[in-house]
Every structure is written in structure tokens, then in C-alpha cells.
Chain A
Amino acid sequence: MKLPSLRDVATEARLLLIGIPVFLWTMIPIYHMFLFAISPKEDAFSGKLWPDHPTLHNFEIVFKQQHYFLRDFYVQFWNSTLIAASVGALTLVIATAAAFSISRLKVPGGRAVLNLALFTYFIPAAFLAVPMYRTMGNYGLLNNHWSLILAMVTIASPYAIWVLKQASDKLPVELDEAAVMDGATTLQIFRLVYVPLMMPSLVAIGTYAVLLAWNEYLYAFLLLSNDREITLPVALGNFLAADDSPWELLMTTGFIYALPPAAVYYAFRRYMVGGLTAGAVKS
């Protein structure tokens, strides 16, 4: 075995000198959340770095809905799930159709639509929220899940169309031509040629839309208010309204709520990193 040279050791030490703070910086808020989740109330507030008596009691309270704030935990969890899934599905349908139309069918005016979509992508989300809130009121959709679903589809679609259009442009045009020769109709090309080839990008975009909707706080908090209609993040925000917020339960619920996106992200990481970063900034 070759011994590492002094220079290698020095390089490694320098890298660790960066790596350790990066690790701590990333993990501390997340660890702190986890720590609260496994601590009895007294330990949580004592500032200890590890509880004397770690417990799963908080999870039990959450899962059995044994606290005033958690009365509707399952309903709210279900709301979050349903809304995220709907946003993912609707965004995929709308954006795939649009990308196919612009990139493959070269529909007249497609370029203009793409620019409009790009423009929406650049409107800061909190700025659009103000007029959107009022508009949802005008449409009579406030407090209805559709308001949040449609708002999130509006926000997710532009980026989805953009990424999918970039990916479609890379598919060779001969594929479509060959299918036309074989007598395929436009819809058949879409279903049998286009969608299967676009699968990796579709997975990335679907994941992106689902995570966006699952993690959304501002729009959910503006558009939904009824306790049985709200999503989990809004419920978490409502914990804060009390003077003596049950922080250990807040963190436990937050931890449970943060697990699905982390799991989804890691499951689809391969697709996400390639698919999404490529579209975010063209270098």
C-alpha cells in the first residue's frame, strides 16, 4: 500500500475544513427539528443536544390526533396529498400537450406562447399571489381545493413547458416523419412515439410539480382557511397563533410532513438533477 504523501494529507485536511462546516450548516436546522420530535417537552426546552429520554411519544400524539391543533391531521395530510397529486397530473397534461404542440407540431404562434410562459416563470411568486387571491375570490373558488390546484398549476406549467420543450427539440424529427409515413395520426404520434420517448423528462417534471405543490405555503395560506380544507403547512402555520404553541408537536408534525418530499426527491434524484438544472439556466 502506498502511503499518502504529505501534500495529499494537506489537501484532504483543507477539504475537510470546508466539508465539516458545510455539513453542520446544512444539518443543524433539520437535526434540531428531529431533536424536538423525539424529545419530551421538558427536554426540548432545555437546550440539550440529545434528550435524556428520547421517546416516540410525540409521534403517537400526532398519529392519534391527541391535541387540539391536530384534530384534523389526517384530513389535512390527505388534502396535501390530493392537491399535490392533482397539481402533478394536471401540470403534466397541460405542459406535455403544449410542449408537443410547440416543438413537434410547430403550431403557429407557439413561440409567442413559449415567451408568455417564460414571462410567467419570472413573475415573483409572492407578487402574483396578491392579484391571484382576489381573482380566486371573483371566480368563487376561495376555500375550495381547486383554487390552490389551479394556482399551483399556473405556477408550475411555465417551467414545465420550458423544460419539456427543450427536451422535445432534442428528439430527431425523423421519428415523427417515419410515423406519418406509416399512417399514424397526430394523436397516435403523441401517444405512441412522443410520450414514451419523453418519459425521463416527464418524471422529472411530474416530481417537480408534486414537490412544488406539497411544499407550498403562501398560496395555500391565502387561498384556504377552513380547518378541514387547509393543507398541512397551513395547519403548521396556525400552530404559531397560540401563545403557548406546542413546539415539540409542531416540529414532530413538520418532520412527518418533510419526509415525503425528501423521499420523493431521493427516489427521483437521477431524473431531477439532469432534467431540471438543464432547463433552469441555459449556459
Chain B
Amino acid sequence: MAITLSGDQAIPGPPLSSRLTPAQVWGIILLAPYLLVFLAFVVYPVCYGLWLARAPSNYVALYNDPIFARAAINTLIFLVIGINIKMLIALFLSGFFAQQRPWIRWLSVIFILPWAVPSIPTILSVRFMLNPEWGVINHLIFSFTGDDGPNWLNDPTVALSMAIGVHIWKSLPFWTLILITGRLAIPHDLFEAAEVDGASWWQKFRYITWPSMQTLYVTCTLLSMIWTLGDFNSVYLLTGGGPADLTHVLATLGIRYLRLDQLSLAMASIVCAMPFVLPLVYFMMKRLSR
């Protein structure tokens, strides 16, 4: 039990209960509800899931499933390309929103909407916009060029790019907000001094903004990677994993196996992501618990 950590275990003493102060007893009681939730809904499921996925045959089956390989590649594309684009835009926009203008303040209030509203209606709205026959985008293409627009969600590459776009639409506001906080923390006199020295905006960014925001930026990117791995909605609601199961990512693939009643495969596909996730988690925990 964790309680023994505080006592000196080598020396036999009075029973535990009398060694704890009343405040500590209350501390344990108040902590208990979370510990129960943690044991029942994190520890038990994870252990049970790992036990279900233990047979090596699961991994052979995954290896032989072309959908799994495709999903792994798609996940990597999502992480490497999608997140870097998103974070660079967020970095750029944080500079834009840090400008003091009434209209920019208003825009920032609107800008947060994609993050605040639920994904399902908005992503379905995008899905309809991309509909080849009735969608507004192809209507506009037709009225300007007289040609039919592409079938956006029928080509896996295009469909995956659209899913990345949806993911960016949804999560860009949050990261921009965080980066604005970081930017506003930079002492203003640094910029004033640079101004006096006649520095260009690029020099100001290169020598003042970036060095002060670098750590925050890297942390945000890593955190965003972990969360993006868990982003089920962007892909599922836009493409449903299609066409022909070619746009799955690991998050939707696990659920797909689950729906097909192949729980051990679902768990195994998640276990496969662990060598990638755990170092990220370890790094994040080290950074946050400093």
C-alpha cells in the first residue's frame, strides 16, 4: 500500500492507522474515488485488452491484412504532414491574433468556434459540401468552369487529404490559442529594442520570437501527435474509412475490428502503435511533471 511509503518500514511501530494524522486519513479517503475509477476503467481494461491480444497469431494476421499496413501509413501521413502543417499555421496565426485590433479580437472570438462546437454536425456538413453531385463545392466548380468537379471522397489520396483538412479545421483554434499565450509571455521591450535597431519582421521572429517559443512549440507538436492518434471523428465521419477501407487510420481501424467482433485484432492493432506512443508519453510526462 502506498501509505507505507511515508513511514519508516525498518522499525516496527504501532499499527498504520495510528501513525497517520487525521488529515492524511482524509487525504486517502478523498483520493479513493479517483483511484477506483482509474483501477476499474483504465487498469483493468488495459490489462484485459493486452491479455486478449497476447497470441502472436494476432500480429501475424495483422501483418497479413493489407488494410492494417495502409492504416499505419495513413496514420504516419496524418502525423508527419498533417500535424506539421497545422502547427506551422497555428504559429503563424498566433502572430496574427496577437496584433491588437478590435476587429482581430472579434475574429478570434469567432475563430474558436470549430473547437467549441461538436464534431459530428460540422464534419458531416463538410462531407456534404464535398458530395460530387449535390455538394456546394462541385456546384461552384461547375458554374465557373462548366466542368464536373472531382469526386472528392472517392480517391483515397484526396479523401485522406480532406480528412487531414477536417482535423486541422477542428483543432487549429486550440493550438493557436496556446501559442498566443506563449507569444504574449515574451517581454515586449525585446521587440521595441529590435525595432529601434531596425530589425526586419523576419529578424524579430528569428532572434526573439522563435527562441522564446521553441520549447512550447515542440511540446505542443508532441502533445498534438498523441491526441491525433486518438482522433477517430475526422476520418470516420468524413470517409468512414473508405473508399475500399483505404483511408483508415489506427484509431478507426481498431474500432473497425471491434465492430467486426475481432476484439483481439483490435487490441493488437493498438499494441502495434505502442512503441511509437510510449516514448512520446514518457517525454510529455517528464516535461509536464518537472
The chain B residue with its CB closest to the CB of A150 is B41
Task: Tell me which residues from 92 to 136 in chain B have a Cβ below 8 Å from any Cβ of chain A.
Answer: 93, 96, 99, 101, 103-104, 107, 109-114, 116-126, 128-129, 134-136
Q: Tell me if A261 and B118 are in contact (CB < 8 A).
A: yes
Q: Tell me if B120 and A153 are in contact (CB < 8 A).
A: no
Q: Tell me if B111 and A118 are in contact (CB < 8 A).
A: no
B252 at the interface (CB under 8 A from A): yes
Given known pairs A98-B33, A122-B281, A124-B226, the reply for A116 and B232 (CB within 8 Å) is: no
Q: Tell me if B30 and A97 are in contact (CB < 8 A).
A: yes
The chain B residue with its CB closest to the CB of A12 is B101
Q: Tell me if B119 and A100 are in contact (CB < 8 A).
A: no
Query: Which A residues are CB-close (under 8 A) to B104?
Result: 15, 19
B55 at the interface (CB under 8 A from A): no
How close is A276's CB to chain B, nearest CB, in angstroms?
Answer: 9
Q: Tell me if A108 and B5 are in contact (CB < 8 A).
A: yes
Query: Which B residues are CB-close (under 8 A) to A32?
Result: 125-126, 128-129, 136
A134 at the interface (CB under 8 A from B): yes
Residue interface bits A12-54, CB-to-B below 8 A is 1, else 0: 0001001100110111111011001000000001110100000
Query: Which A residues are CB-close (under 8 A) to B63?
Result: none
CA distance A281 to B224 in the complex (A): 11
B158 at the interface (CB under 8 A from A): no
Per a CB cutoff under 8 Å, which of A127, A133, A214, A240 touches B230?
A: A127
Which of A57-65, A70-78, A167-175, A246-254 has 4 or more CB atoms under 8 Å from chain B? Answer: A246-254
The chain A residue with its CB closest to the CB of B235 is A126
Residue interface bits A216-237, CB-to-B below 8 A is 1, else 0: 0110001000000000010011
A199 at the interface (CB under 8 A from B): no
How close is B159's CB to chain A, nearest CB, in angstroms?
Answer: 16
Given known pairs A118-B285, A257-B118, the reply for A281 and B216 (CB within 8 Å) is: yes
Q: Tell me if B223 and A281 are in contact (CB < 8 A).
A: yes
CA distance A187 to B52 in the complex (A): 43
A2 at the interface (CB under 8 A from B): no
Query: Which B residues are CB-close (under 8 A) to A15?
Result: 96, 99, 101, 104
Q: Tell me if A281 and B178 are in contact (CB < 8 A).
A: yes
Q: Tell me if B27 and A218 are in contact (CB < 8 A).
A: no
Q: Tell me if A126 and B117 are in contact (CB < 8 A).
A: no
Q: Tell me if B34 and A161 are in contact (CB < 8 A).
A: yes
Given contacts A27-B110, A98-B30, could you give 12 more A-B pairs where the C-beta distance is less than 8 Å?
A15-B99, A19-B107, A29-B123, A30-B122, A30-B125, A98-B31, A101-B30, A101-B31, A123-B230, A126-B232, A130-B267, A283-B215
Pull 27 A–B residue pairs with CB atoms less than 8 Å apart, ordered by A. A15-B99, A15-B104, A19-B96, A22-B93, A22-B107, A29-B169, A32-B129, A45-B134, A47-B136, A93-B33, A94-B37, A109-B5, A113-B35, A122-B226, A124-B229, A127-B277, A128-B42, A130-B255, A150-B37, A161-B34, A222-B258, A258-B117, A258-B121, A266-B116, A281-B178, A281-B216, A282-B290
